Amino acid sequence: MASNYGLGPDYDIALGAAPSDLSAAAVTGLRISMVNVKSVDVVVVKGAGTAADDPTITLRHHTAATGGTSADLATITEYFLRSEATLDNDEPWTKVTQAAAATIVDPGGAGTSAESQQIVVFSVKPTDLPETSNYISVNIGDVGANAQLGTVLFIIHKHDKSEPTAFPIPLR
């Protein structure tokens, strides 16, 4: 029996970047289609690292599923953050506002994001993209010499209410 909410009726999940060591190299994110999507919540989860190795998260838009024209998408005006030396689910969300930008530099500010475990969330709507672009991705810059793990997930809010098996693949 199908559920009335959750994965399928309310959202889909796609990989934006596989878990990796953010100090090994810059992370080039995977693309997803924004066609027939209500919105996408971009979720960045990162482990604690070493002082001054603060991450930079960059939102990009693309004209094709592969290749095409790509550019930064300067639409991030707010994001939500959970941050603590060790996340243990007792942290409130903090709303952070900024001038429209394609990047989130040092999430939470103060040059101390590297030392914390963090969850960073921001939303993208299809109307945020230029008319010729239908795809987004998220990159994370190389944080420096010391290990710091991170991953990116896309929570795709759909217009339809079908089962997960009926969803089109995120990159189409």
Domain total of the chain: 1
Angle ∠(142,148,149) on CA atoms, nearest 5: 100
Q: Is residue 53 assigned to a domain? A: no
Residue at 74 is within a domain: yes
Longest dimension (CA), the chain: 51
In a domain, 111, yes or no: yes
**pTM of the shown model:** 0.92
Report DSSP state, residue 169.
Answer: P
Residue 33 belongs to a domain = no
Does residue 42 form part of some domain?
no
The 8-class DSSP code of residue 145 comes to S
- Structure-block tokens of residue 31: 């693309």
Q: Is residue 115 part of a domain?
A: yes
- Inside any domain, residue 29: no
Supply the range of the domain harboring residue 79: 61-160
How high is the pLDDT of residue 46? 96
Q: Closest Cα to residue 16, out of 118, 113, 156?
A: 156
Q: Please give the average pLDDT of every successive group of 10 residues along the chain, which has 172 residues.
A: 71 96 96 95 96 94 97 98 95 95 91 90 97 97 94 89 72 78
> What is the structure's pLDDT at 130?
97
Residue 25 DSSP symbol: S
Per-residue model confidence (pLDDT) at position 137: 98
